[in-house]
Chain A
Amino acid sequence: TQLLEQSPQFLSIQEGENLTVYCNSSSVFSSLQWYRQEPGEGPVLLVTVVTGGEVKKLKRLTFQFGDARKDSSLHITAAQPGDTGLYLCAGGNNQGGKLIFGQGTELSVKP
């Protein structure tokens, strides 16, 4: 059974700080997605990474896919209160199965 472990589970920081969220597995994935979810809403897709070692940037967010395609990280620079939310990673194998989700990281950025 494929599993994705996210860490940390909870993160509370001050505005302006940097942070990194990790998503790790012992299994290889063909692609990995990162989502952000606000309370009572559906997850919003932030990025998809498919190549080992790939780095994608979305404004202050930097996403990296591990060389072996077993892990990924999300780094936020100079966090803002608007970054508050639940961050989810999800891995897939493009084989007609299902996405495997991590447990999520609850981020709170205080002004």
Chain B
Amino acid sequence: KAGVTQTPRYLIKTRGQQVTLSCSPISGHRSVSWYQQTPGQGLQFLFEYFSETQRNKGNFPGRFSGRQFSNSRSEMNVSTLELGDSALYLCASSLLMADTEAFFGQGTRLTVV
């Protein structure tokens, strides 16, 4: 069974630009969560999608958004990038509930210059 796939693995963007990250969950998993990980802040929850609906949201500004498609694949978008958005962005896939067993992708390393 294939794991969670995140693309791209690495990304360099300029301040003010926008970026879209993609996540394909494990086949059959319907819950997709996104996290931002930085050395100082640890893993911070961005949002969770289930059946194409945002079910939970963390404390991030509106520049961070996401969506989920009917095949459970998910994308997250960050607009008007800031230097502080540089981080490892992780996607986690769960069968039904985000607060049960979660399987992570390898992450997308975003660097904003």
Contact = CB atoms under 8 A, between A and B. Distances in A.
Interface string A42-68: 111100100000000000000000000
A92 B96 CA distance: 13
Interface of B is mostly: strand
Interface residues of B, number: 26
Contacts of B55: 96
A93 B90 CA distance: 21
Contacts of B6: 42
B67 interface: no
Contacts of B56: 96-98
Given A40-B109, A42-B90, A42-B105, A95 B42 contact: no
Contacts of B100: 30-31, 92, 94
Contact of B107 (A30, A40, A93, A101): A40
Interface of B: 4, 6, 33, 42-43, 45, 48, 50, 55-56, 58, 88, 90, 92, 97-107, 109
